[in-house]
Amino acid sequence: MTTRTATVTWAGANARRMERQGLAAPVHLAPADVVGALPAAHAQVLSAAELSVGLRTAGATRTDVREALWTERTLVKTHGPRGTVHLLPMTELPMWTGALSAVPAGRNPLPEGVRMTPEQTEAVLAAIADALTGAELTVDELSDAVVDRAGAWAGDRVMPAFQDMWPRWRQVMHLAGHRGALCFAPGRGRKVTYTRPDAVPLDGPKALARLVRRYLYAYGPATPQHFAKWLAAPQRWAAELFTGMAARGEIEEVAYEGEPAWLVAGDTAFPVEPVRGVRLLPYFDAYLIASQPRRKLFPGVAYTRALAGGQAGNFPVLLIDGTVAGVWHQRRSGRRIAVTVEPLSPLTAGQLRGLEEQVARVGEVLEGRPELTVGKVTVGPHA
């Protein structure tokens, strides 16, 4: 049952968010459609993205996600929100590249002797696009191609990275993804490769408006500040974007937990019943990153135990009735997957059964044999 309202509670918003992205109950959709509902799956660690998508999709495994990405090409792995690597639906790549290209750039944090001028940046982006058209190149091959096209300065090894020095041009790899000049291709053995996707970016204002509607459909009610945080964009710019869309009647204001927030115009139906059940979510799951206010999602001790300095996603989490109620960790050895879950309060018999079912589902998605231990998670974030 749903009701239409201009006043929205956390319980109603949370239930709708989880329902729309397959967390209330797994959905019978293709992986690309599931990712589109997020509307992007964080994939810096690809196995975490596979688990995010698989747990939301009835009967899916990591093989299904990989086939959608590398064989069917209905998914694309590229630089998305916040400049980090995400899975995106291939059909929505024009929206993403158009929107991300239109987000104002922040201050370049690199030292003056390392950063590139605007002219150099454009030269490198053009070189990347040209080199990757119809080709799949490793990063070393791409580096040689960029230097050949842009000049020797692009290859100066001036960027500290992982106890090494990277060539200057690599500081704009995320921007190349945002422009649609670069995406990931199937690996060549252990080596990552890149190619140029076959997608023309949408007009910037049109793409941004579409992205705001996607975001609000998934996570509304939300404020411009929430959207800016999710996208790593300037807050003032986001506020102006929302003001313009409101003036055109594309979004509407509601009261959310006593504060003004925004929904897609007319999208005011919310579940009456709160969300119930036990779920496990992996690192940097989209729901953990985007759902606001964060203190409602991570109540009480969960705010200190399951976040790292207030940043979401650093720990895989246990959800009970739609809020964070613990952390967990998995360690794989062959087909065996050792799963340790640390609840923040004792589990009821029903919650323990729900947890066992979730652990079994994790095993199905990851195509392994899971073994559950309820106890202390001793590893830190990103472990």
pLDDT digits (tens, 9 = 90+) for 346-376: 999 999 999 999 999 999 999 999 999 999 9
pLDDT at residue number 288: 96
For every residue of 233-278, DSSP letters joined together read --HHHHHHHHHHHHHTTSEEEEEETTEEEEEETT--EEESSPP-SE
Beta-sheet pairing, 2-4 with 269-271: antiparallel
pLDDT at residue number 161: 82
Query: Alpha helices of 74-117 — where are they, by DSSP H?
Result: 93-102
pLDDT at residue number 380: 85
Residue 329's DSSP bridge partners are: 340
pLDDT at residue number 2: 61
Please state whether the predicted TM-score (pTM) of the whole model is above 0.85.
yes
pLDDT at residue number 164: 85
Domains and CATH numbers, the chain: 2-195 (no CATH), 278-374 (3.40.630)
pLDDT at residue number 1: 60
Single-letter code of the amino acid located at 311: Q
| Residues of the chain under the 50 pLDDT cut | none
pLDDT at residue number 68: 98
User: Tokens representing 165?
Assistant: 């020095």
Each residue of 94-141: pLDDT tens digit?
999 999 999 998 778 888 888 999 999 999 999 999 999 999 999 999
